[in-house]
Structure 1
Amino acid sequence: MKHMLALAVLAASAATGAHAQEFGFAGREFSVDLGVGVDVGPDYPGSDDAKAGPWLIWRNAGFTQPGSDLREGFAISPSFGTVGEREASDNDDLSGMDDIDAAYELGLRVSYGTGPLTAFGSVRKGFEGHEGLTGEVGAKYRTDLSDRLSLWSGLSLGYGDGDYNDTYFGVNADEAIPGRPAYDIGGGFNKAAITFEARYAVTDTIALLGEVEYGKLIGDAADSPVVQDEYQPSLKLGIVRKFSFGF
C-alpha cells in the first residue's frame, strides 16, 4: 500500500508538470498539504459506536498564484481513503454477520477553484475490505479570519457502486435472522454531509488542521437493517506540511 501511495504522488506530480504549459499553468504553482492525524468516527458505516483511527491527510491541492493560498482553476490529484474493519464479535447487533477487513482506497480527485469557492469530485477503488468504487461530489467555501486562520464550510454527497454498498449495507441469505432480513442493495448515493474545516498556519509551511463532519446516511443505505444510526458524525485533528511546485 505504501508503494501504491508513493507511485500515485509521483504520477500526479509528473502529470501536473508535463501539462502545466499546455493548460496555461505556467507562472503558477501547485501546492498541497500533506500530513497525518487522528480520525474519530463511526466504528463502521451505519454504526452507533465511535472509534479512533489514523488520518492520512492530502488537502487543499490546487494551482495558485505565487504567494497566494487561493486555489484557482482545475486541479487533478490522488485521492486516498480508508474504512476500518468490521468484526461481528465486537457488536451484538452484528451477530451472524460476516467480518469485513479494513479497506484501503486509491483514486483521483478533480477540483475547480474560483476565488473562495471550490467544487470537487472524487472516485476511488477499494482493496481488501471492499473492491468497489466510492467517492464524493461537493463544494466548499473558504473564509480567512486572519493571516494564519482559515475556515472552510462545505456540502458533499457520498456514493458507492453496488459492490461497495452491498459490502457495508447488504445482508445475504446466510446472514439473515429474525429482525434482520436479507437486503440487496445497488449502487447510488449513500451519505450527505456538512463539513467545517479549520487550518491554522504555525509557520509558512506547517499547519494544524481540524475538521468536524455531520453526515447522514441516505437512500437505500439508510434503510439497511445493518444500520444502527443514520447520523454519522466525525472529528479529525492533524498536522500537515505544505509542499509547493512552481512551473
Structure 2
Amino acid sequence: MKLALCLTLGLSALAGAAAAQDFGLSGDRQFSVDLGLGVVGKSTYPGADDAEAQPWIIWKNASFGGTAKEGLSFGGSFGMVGSRDEDDDDALIGLEEIDRAYEIGGKVSYRRGPVNSYVTLRRGFGGHEGLTGEVGAKYRTELSDRVTLWSGLELGYGDDEYNDTYFGVSSDEATAGRAAYSAGGGFNKAAITFEARYDLTENLAVLGEVEYGKLIGDAADSPIVQDEYQPALRLGIVRRFSFGF
C-alpha cells in the first residue's frame, strides 16, 4: 500500500505539470532513443560484498517528441537483472537459482530548465515477475558543446514479488546460520548518481556513470545481504536513433 501510494503521488505530480503541454506530439513527431553497449562493474548479486564486470546493454533517453527541451515526456523503460546461483558466492549456498530477468515498462519525465524528474515502472519476465522501477531527479550541467554532466538522487523500489525474489529466504532455504525471511514491497535502494556524456559526433557519444547506492527497507535487513552499500561504475558508447511518424 505504501508503495502504491508513493507511485500514485509521483505520477499525479507529473501529470499535474502536464497542463498546457502537447506531450511532445505536435509539430515534428518522432521517437528518439540512445542505444549502445558497454561494461559495468557492480556487485556480484544485490547485497554482495564482491564485485564483477558485466555487459551493459544501454537504452537511455527514450521519448516521444525527442526535440522537446521542456515539459512532460513519455518513453519506454527496459531493464535486465542477471541470473543468480550458489556458484556466484558462498553466501548463496543453499538458495534456489534465479534465472536472468528481463523488464519492460514505461517512464514519465518532466523537465524544467536543468532539472529532470522522472518515475519509471517495469514488469519482470523470467527470473522475477514482479514490478520494479525508480523515482528520481537529475541536474544537468553543460561544460561545453560536447561535454554534459548530470548529478542526481534516486530511489529504487519493488513490489512483494520483486523484493522477495532477490532478498527473501524461504523455509526450505533456511539453515542454522540463515533464518527464513520474507521481504515486503517498498523502496529497496537509495542512490547518488553522477553521469558524463562526451559527444563524438552529432549522434555518437561516450557515456560514463558512477552510482553510490545503499540498500534500504526490507532489502537491507535480508540475511543474504553482506554489504548494504552497492556502488557501480559504467562505461559505454551509444548512438542516437530518431524515428519520425
- How does the TM-score come out when normalised to structure 1? 0.85
- Find the counterpart in structure 1 of residue 37 from structure 2: 36
Q: Give unpaired runs (5+ residues) of structure 1.
A: 1-19
Match of 1:4 in 2: none
2:27 equivalent in structure 1: 26
Q: Which residue of 2 aligns with 1:195?
A: 193
Task: Report the CA distance between 1:246 and its aligned residue.
Answer: 5.5
Q: Among 121, 124, 127, which residue is 2:125 paired with?
A: 127
Inter-CA distance 22–35: structure 2 relative to 1 (3 Å threshold): closer
Q: Note the alpha carbon deviations across 1:107-141, whole angstroms, 9 max, x for none.
A: 11111111111001111111111111100000001
**Residue 224 of structure 2: aligned partner:** 226
Shift of 1:50: 1.1
Q: CA deviation at 1:40?
A: 1.4
| Structure-2 residue corresponding to 1:113 | 111
String of CA shifts for 1:203-232, please: whole Å, max 9, x gaps: 111100010000100011100001011001
Structure 2 Cα separation of the partners of residues 91 and 22 of structure 1:
46
Q: CA RMSD in A?
A: 2.1
Equivalent position of 1:57 in the other structure: 58
- Distance (Å, rounded) in 1 between the aligned partners of 2:206 and 2:148: 11
Equivalent residue, structure 1, for 2:212: 214
Q: Which digits, 9 at most, give the CA deviation of each residue in 1:162-196, with x for residues without a partner? A: 01000010011111112210101210000001100
Q: Identity, % of aligned pairs?
A: 64
8 Å Cα contact 2:38-2:236 kept in structure 1: yes
Structure 1 residue 145 corresponds to structure 2 residue 146:
no
Inter-CA distance 54–71: structure 2 relative to 1 (3 Å threshold): farther
Deviation at 1:24, TM superposition (A): 6.0
Q: Is the 8 A contact 2:208 2:234 kept in 1?
A: yes
* Inter-CA distance 235–65: structure 2 relative to 1 (3 Å threshold): closer
Q: Distance in 2 between matches of 1:72 and 1:22?
A: 10
Is 1:71–2:69 an aligned residue pair?
yes
Shift of 1:37: 1.2
Hey, what's the Cα distance between the residues in 1 that align with 2:77 and 2:65? 20
Distance 1:104 1:169 in 2: 18
Greater mean alpha carbon deviation, residues 20-29 or residues 98-107: 20-29
Q: Partner amino acid for 1:40?
A: G
Which of 50-59 and 135-144 deviates more? 50-59
Question: Are the aligned partners of 1:140 and 1:155 in contact in 2 as well (CA < 8 Å)?
Answer: yes
Q: 1:117 to 1:61 in 2, by over 3 A?
A: farther
Counterpart amino acid of residue 61 in structure 2? N
The number of residues matched between the two structures is 225
Task: Label 1:23 to 1:87 Cα distance change in 2 as closer, same or farther (>3 A).
Answer: closer
Opposite residue 59 of structure 1, the aligned amino acid is K
Alignment of structure 1 residues 156-175 onto 2, 5 Å = 156-175=154-173
1:65-101, CA deviations, whole angstroms, 9 ceiling, x for partnerless residues? 85xxx73211111111111111113321111111111
Partner amino acid, structure 1, of 2:142 = D
Note the alpha carbon deviations across 1:35-55, whole angstroms, 9 max, x for none. Answer: 121121111111111122222
In structure 2, list runs of 5 or more residues that go unmatched.
Answer: 1-20
Separation of aligned partners in 1, 2:23 and 2:51: 47
SS in 2 for 1:112: strand
Q: Is contact 1:63-1:71 (8 Å) kept?
A: no
Q: Which moved more, 1:70-79 or 1:34-43?
A: 70-79
Moved segments of 4+, more than 4 Å: 20-24, 27-30, 62-66
